């Protein structure tokens, strides 16, 4: 008599085509009659298909670091646990679960999960003869693992031709920064023209604020961070020139 439990334990081997003829026939027969097991087999096949089309994944470094940290924490916890409790925990897992921290279990589970991913990946990629469904290996956009910054734009240095798209893309941030810089220069000139009518306090406030903003621009990283700082500077200069507005050291404005 074939039971659902026995089918579940043989399902992977069956889908891999590893069961002997009579065993495979028994599984096949059960699946014809049992909707629940049939659905289970379908889900598993779908999972395998999905895994097959995914690119290889390197576990992120943070995962290993986390596992190591958890193992270290578990060892420290073990060291601080009385010998008698460790002995009980070793022989009576239920007591252990209730009395001791679950960190070791989490760490081991993490390692097992990674090992499981690797094993499953290997199983699903080792040969087309094991495939339950033939899915074409299609090109797809690169999918990177979490916690990783997007790949940097191809370095211009790799391309010797300045008219190549990579060189043009690499030059783009500097071009935008230059455009912002030109506007800052223009507004600074306008501010210089306007400051003749300003009070000394206002001049001092303007100069101080402008110097602080200029320092922020100079210290900012190239690209967007610097452009953000430049935009703040432009806003300030526009306020001073167009709206005749400068926050004074005394707390007032204008």
Partner 1 sequence: MNSIARPLLAILAMALPAAAEPAKSAAPPAKPPAPVHAAEPAPAVRDPAKGPARRLEPAPTNGAYHVSERSRLSIEPAEHAITRLSIENPLGDVKVEGYDGSAIQIETHKFAPDDDALDRLHISLVPNPDGTVAIKTTADGGKEVRPVTRGAVRIDLVIRAPRDARVEAAVSSGRLEVVDMDAGSDLDTGSGPISVRNVQGEVLTHSVSGMTRLAQVFGSVDAQTLSSDLDLDTIGGERLIASVHHGRIDGRRVRARDVELTATDGRIRLEAEAALRGHLVVSAFRGDVDVQLRRHGAVLVRARGTKVELGAPAQVQPNGWVIASLGGSAPPAETALVEIRAPQGNVTFSIIESRP
Q: What residues from 151 to 170 belong to the interface with partner 1 (CB under 8 A)?
A: 151, 153-156, 158-161, 163-169
- The distance of closest approach from Cβ of residue 186 to partner 1 in the complex, given in angstroms and rounded to an integer, is 8
Q: Report if residue 193 touches partner 1, rule: CB under 8 A.
A: no
d(CA 207, CA 191): 10
- Judged by CB under 8 A, which stretch of 42-50, 81-89, 198-206, 211-219 contacts partner 1? 42-50
- Interface with partner 1 (CB under 8 A), residue total 74
Q: Are 31 and 4 in contact (CB under 8 A)?
A: no
Of the candidates 150, 149, 141, 143, the residue with the CA atom closest to the CA atom of residue 56: 143
Nearer residue to partner 1 within complex by CB, 89 or 233: 233
Sign of the alpha-carbon dihedral angle for 6, 111, 103, 148: negative
- The distance of closest approach from Cβ of residue 95 to partner 1 in the complex, given in angstroms and rounded to an integer, is 25
* C-alpha count within 13 angstroms, C-beta hemisphere, residue 112: 6
Q: Are 205 and 236 in contact (CB under 8 A)?
A: no
Q: Are 43 and 70 in contact (CB under 8 A)?
A: no
Nearer residue to partner 1 within complex by CB, 97 or 171: 171
Q: Are 95 and 84 in contact (CB under 8 A)?
A: no
Q: Report if residue 186 touches partner 1, rule: CB under 8 A.
A: yes
- Judged by CB under 8 A, which stretch of 20-28, 87-95, 179-187, 197-205 contacts partner 1? 179-187
Nearer residue to partner 1 within complex by CB, 45 or 88: 45
Quick one: which of 36, 113, 212, 249 contacts partner 1 (CB under 8 A)? 113
Q: Report if residue 192 touches partner 1, rule: CB under 8 A.
A: no
């Amino acid at each position: 008599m074939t039971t659902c439990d026995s089918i579940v334990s043989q399902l992977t081997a069956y889908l891999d085509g590893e069961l002997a003829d009579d065993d495979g026939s028994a599984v096949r027969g059960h699946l014809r009659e049992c909707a629940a097991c049939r659905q289970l087999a379908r889900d598993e096949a779908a999972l395998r298909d999905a895994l097959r089309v995914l690119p290889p994944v390197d576990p992120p470094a943070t995962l290993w670091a986390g596992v190591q940290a958890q193992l270290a924490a578990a060892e420290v916890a073990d060291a601080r646990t009385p010998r008698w409790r460790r002995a009980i925990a070793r022989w009576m897992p239920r007591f252990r679960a209730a009395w001791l921290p679950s960190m070791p279990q989490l760490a081991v589970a993490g390692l097992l999960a990674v090992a499981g991913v690797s094993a499953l990946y290997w199983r699903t990629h080792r040969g087309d003869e094991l495939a339950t469904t033939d899915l074409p290996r299609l090109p797809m956009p690169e999918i990177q693992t979490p916690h990783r910054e997007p790949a940097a734009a191809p370095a211009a240095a790799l391309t010797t031709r300045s008219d190549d798209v990579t060189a043009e893309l690499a030059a783009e941030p500097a071009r935008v920064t230059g455009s912002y810089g030109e506007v800052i220069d223009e507004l600074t000139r306008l501010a210089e023209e306007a400051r003749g009518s300003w009070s000394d306090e206002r001049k001092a406030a303007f100069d101080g604020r402008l110097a602080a903003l200029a320092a922020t621009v100079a210290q900012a990283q190239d690209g967007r961070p610097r452009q953000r700082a430049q935009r703040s500077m432009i806003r300030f200069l526009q306020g001073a020139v167009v709206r005749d507005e400068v926050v004074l050291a005394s707390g007032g404005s204008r």
